[in-house]
A and B are shown apart, each in its own frame.
Chain A
Amino acid sequence: DTAVSQTPKYLVTQMGNDKSIKCEQNLGHDTMYWYKQDSKKFLKIMFSYNNKELIINETVPNRFSPKSPDKAHLNLHINSLELGDSAVYFCASSRYTGELFFGEGSRLTVL
């Protein structure tokens, strides 16, 4: 009964391809996020959505496009993948206390 689930867990693809990572939360939270953990292990926020509306959009290339069909889902679509996009992407959700609930992560490897 996973609270924040994301798929796929592992994704290996070629440069230039387009891929999506899906995220769903069953906690009833209003806010969802995408974080990226790069090779240096930093966890950095990419996007934040509140009730399907974009709240935070850090300096992320516009090849990354989040989509929130409803407040329980926040998907991440990446166009024209580059080597530097290889990372672990974490979806998270929160209510209002600042405490985030993370998914298990999706490890993206771009060859």
Chain B
Amino acid sequence: DQQVKQNSPSLSVQEGRISILNCDYTNSMFDYFLWYKKYPAEGPTFLISISSIKDKNEDGRFTVFLNKSAKHLSLHIVPSQPGDSAVYFCAASDPYGGSQGNLIFGKGTKLSVKP
């Protein structure tokens, strides 16, 4: 059973436009959410995170929104750039893993930003 779901395997966006990547989760006890970015033949790299006590966190062009009642979070990238083309993984912190980072990952969404 997937506790973290990214239902869109791919997304294509024009350069300069907004990219919106979505993520849904089933466990209401998740308390920390992260987005990772992965280029081919590289490991995932941390992008941005949000605690369950917040509903928005912004870092430059990247903003993560959390809707706890809907168990939904989204990553907004604006403006999108060709270098943003990568696979984006949503992850949630397992409360029983606590601060030791037992993250549960979604399957990823491949973002393609076209010039």
Main SS of chain A's interface residues? strand
Q: Is A48 part of the contact surface with B, judged by Cβ < 8 Å? A: yes
Q: Is A34 part of the contact surface with B, judged by Cβ < 8 Å? A: no
Number of A-B contacts (CB under 8 A): 65
Partner of B45, one of A44, A102, A105: A102
Contacts of A98 in B (CB 8 A): 32, 34, 49, 93, 99, 101, 103
User: How many Å lie between the Cα of A100 and that of B45 in the bound state?
Assistant: 8
User: How many Å lie between the Cα of A88 and that of B44 in the bound state?
Assistant: 12
Would you give the 0/1 interface string for A55-77, flagging 1 where the beta carbon is closer than 8 Å to chain B?
11000000000000000000000
Q: Are B102 and A48 in contact (CB under 8 A)?
A: yes
Residue tally, chain B, CB below 8 Å to A: 22
Closest to B45 in A: A102
Contacts of A48 in B (CB 8 A): 97, 100-102
Determine how close the nearest CB of chain A comes to the CB of B10; give it in whole angstroms.
12
Determine how close the nearest CB of chain B comes to the CB of A71; give it in whole angstroms.
13
User: How many Å lie between the Cα of A45 and that of B100 in the bound state?
Assistant: 12
Q: Are B102 and A41 in contact (CB under 8 A)?
A: no
What is the interface of chain B, defined by CB distance below 8 A to chain A?
A: 32, 34, 36, 41-46, 49, 89, 93, 97, 99-105, 107-108
